[in-house]
Structure 1
């Protein structure tokens, strides 16, 4: 089975974390939580989830993972201010391993400057940011472009999970 890195920080969207990760674990995939500081506990913005960070972005190596999940909420915006998190995402994109992005997750890819020429979706409030990064914004439940699978918001979670599991 696959080892999936979950890049996460405080104020993530609880359901965009809990539903995909439960589906991944139910299929036998292993989750490793990657964040700014190993051992920290990060919390969802609705308070439904608390996550222990297994490894830091300074220690995480793309080669140790088969795929990457980035939940939305405020977490991606917080992560994009950390140069090591941005570099980890950039390295993951370049590895061509599967990346699963929902809601505001594309924000960190925008900062990593890796979306030019790609097709992607995300929450409507970052549509113009996605376009300005050189990507084509597509308003659909799931958009697949090479190694990137993206969805817009919690309402797309069933389709998002199905696409992610198929890719894994």
Structure 2
């Protein structure tokens, strides 16, 4: 059973991310000993909805999926809406799903799971405004702070971040 402290975690975000869903989630994962890497379409500073900034470690074009154990997709409205239009980001999400690697998405982040067509037949949660999109993509949508179905963890909102991170850790630690 692997420990989350051994995990190499990829986070993908761009301008318009929800500040706490990226920064607090990353901080909590780092505190658990995970090695986190932030990728963005360009390796330049990105700005969150509430004005906080983050410096990506690499661009999505530099990402090699095999180098990471787990993928985290923060929300914010603009962030996933921009990212789902980026073919390389969608390819990364699909590659993690196809490999059976853990994926985690919070708030509007599940839009990327819809775009990669990986929610069909899965139970998920999200921010209320994208639940119809998830249903239309074939998911069973519930209203809980964190939901794990096979290799996918989803969560609703910033207040759910502690439960989201615990669900991520639990999923990783039970993975082969």
Relative to the length of structure 2, the TM-score reads 0.90
**Which residue of 52, 61, 70 corresponds with 2:64?**
61
- How many corresponding residue pairs? 166
Aligned pairs (5 A) from 1:9-158: 9-37=14-42, 39-48=43-52, 50-73=53-76, 74-158=78-162
Where 2:62 maps in the other structure, the secondary structure is coil
> Which runs of 5 or more residues in structure 1 are unaligned?
none
Aligned CA RMSD, in angstroms, stands at 1.1
- The answer to whether the 8 Å contact 2:123/2:147 transfers is yes
* Cross-structure match for 2:3: none
User: How far did residue 159 of structure 1 move?
Assistant: 1.2
Relative to the length of structure 1, the TM-score reads 0.94
Deviating 4+ runs (over 4 angstroms)? none
User: How far did residue 156 of structure 1 move?
Assistant: 1.2
Where 2:51 maps in the other structure, the secondary structure is coil
Where 1:131 maps in the other structure, the secondary structure is helix
